[in-house]
């Protein structure tokens, strides 16, 4: 069953066409990887899907409803959660309160929401840091806080924007496990990632973007050897076939 359908999505900034007539689908239960060189328009797609930007043209349907022109919080209420490329937890709030903000969207009663937030915090291994301020945490921990907050909104679809960026191999491995776990729990995932290993490991299907257009799509193995994909990445230093030591 199709969870997310984007048709003919276009967005330009000044003279630059960031996204050009893009079609994108995510079916229920899928993990879809969105890859492409820097500047290919991936984060712009996320901003369009989550309501932070209005497309110049195109249609977005989420869970069967058109969410074009909806404010981000309404889209989130419908079941679409996202993280940000540059991680944004609430710095002056504790880990628990960070996640609480997400939970309150589903459970208006603060006591109930706190209990649920607590569970999410523990599930993501942040139990020990629940009362710490988000500002004082390591990058990996802050990413998990943001992830926990998104999870607390009980999404059907989770948009992850380069969650692996800046993490060391151990942290990446842990995060990959967590994402697998989240997916197993029934959440569909659309992830932007430069870390090829992670993308290959997690995705059912990969969509490749270049200059705002889809240039390839398919299962990981097929995409990896697709000539257009190799051409898009030629010269790119970001392609991590193996983790950098």
Residues that bind other proteins (CB under 8 A): 50-52, 71-74, 76-77, 81-84, 88-93, 97-98, 100-102, 104-106, 108-110, 113, 146, 149-150, 152-153
Q: Which is nearer to other proteins, 187 or 206 (CB)?
A: 187
Lookup result for tokens 């069953």: 1
Q: Which two three-digit tokens encode residue 49? A: 């899907």
> Shortest gap between Cβ of 150 and other proteins (angstroms)?
7
> Shortest gap between Cβ of 80 and other proteins (angstroms)?
9
Q: Which is nearer to other proteins, 114 or 214 (CB)?
A: 114
Q: Which is nearer to other proteins, 8 or 128 (CB)?
A: 128
> Shortest gap between Cβ of 60 and other proteins (angstroms)?
16
SS3 state at 163: coil
> Shortest gap between Cβ of 193 and other proteins (angstroms)?
19
Q: CA 167 to CA 4: how far, in whole Å?
A: 29
Work out whether strand 65-66 and strand 31-35 pair parallel, antiparallel, or are unpaired. unpaired
Q: Which is nearer to other proteins, 20 or 53 (CB)?
A: 53
Q: Which long-range contacts (CB under 8 A, 24 or more apart) does 101-107 make?
A: 101/149, 101/152, 102/148, 102/149, 102/150, 102/151, 102/152, 102/153, 103/152, 103/153, 105/73, 105/76, 105/77, 105/152, 105/153, 106/152, 106/153, 106/154
The full DSSP string for 100-134 is HHHHHTT--SHHHHHHHHHHHHHHTT-GGGTTSBG
Nearest to 190 by CA among 57, 66, 24: 24
SS3 state at 84: coil
Q: Which is nearer to other proteins, 49 or 140 (CB)?
A: 49
Work out whether strand 31-35 and strand 205-210 pair parallel, antiparallel, or are unpaired. parallel
Q: Which two three-digit tokens encode residue 208? A: 């490749």
The HSE-up count of residue 237 (CA atoms within 13 Å, CB side) is 1
> Shortest gap between Cβ of 84 and other proteins (angstroms)?
7
Q: Which is nearer to other proteins, 172 or 179 (CB)?
A: 179
Q: Which is nearer to other proteins, 172 or 187 (CB)?
A: 187
> Shortest gap between Cβ of 134 and other proteins (angstroms)?
9
> Shortest gap between Cβ of 213 and other proteins (angstroms)?
26
């Amino acid at each position: 069953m199709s969870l997310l359908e984007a048709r003919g999505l276009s967005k330009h900034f000044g003279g630059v066409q960031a996204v050009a007539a893009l079609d994108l689908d995510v079916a229920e239960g899928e993990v879809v990887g969105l890859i492409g060189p820097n500047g290919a328009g991936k984060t712009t797609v996320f901003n369009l899907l989550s309501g932070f930007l209005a497309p110049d043209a195109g249609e977005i349907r989420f869970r069967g409803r058109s969410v074009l022109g909806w404010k981000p919080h309404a889209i989130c209420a419908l079941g679409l959660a996202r993280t940000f490329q540059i991680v944004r937890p609430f710095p002056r709030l504790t880990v628990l309160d960070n996640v609480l903000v997400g939970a309150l969207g589903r459970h208006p009663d603060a006591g109930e929401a706190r209990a649920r937030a607590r569970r999410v915090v523990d599930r993501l291994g942040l139990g020990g840091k629940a009362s710490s301020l988000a500002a004082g945490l390591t990058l990996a921990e802050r990413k998990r806080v943001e992830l926990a907050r998104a999870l607390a909104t009980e999404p059907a679809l989770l948009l992850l924007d380069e969650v692996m960026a800046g993490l060391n191999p151990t942290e990446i491995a842990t995060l990959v496990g967590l994402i697998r776990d989240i997916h197993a729990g029934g959440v569909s995932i659309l992830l932007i990632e430069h870390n090829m290993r992670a993308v290959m490991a997690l995705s059912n299907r990969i969509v490749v973007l270049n200059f705002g257009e889809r240039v390839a799509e398919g299962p990981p193995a097929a995409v990896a050897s697709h000539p257009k994909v190799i051409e898009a990445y030629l010269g790119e230093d970001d392609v991590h076939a193996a983790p950098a030591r």
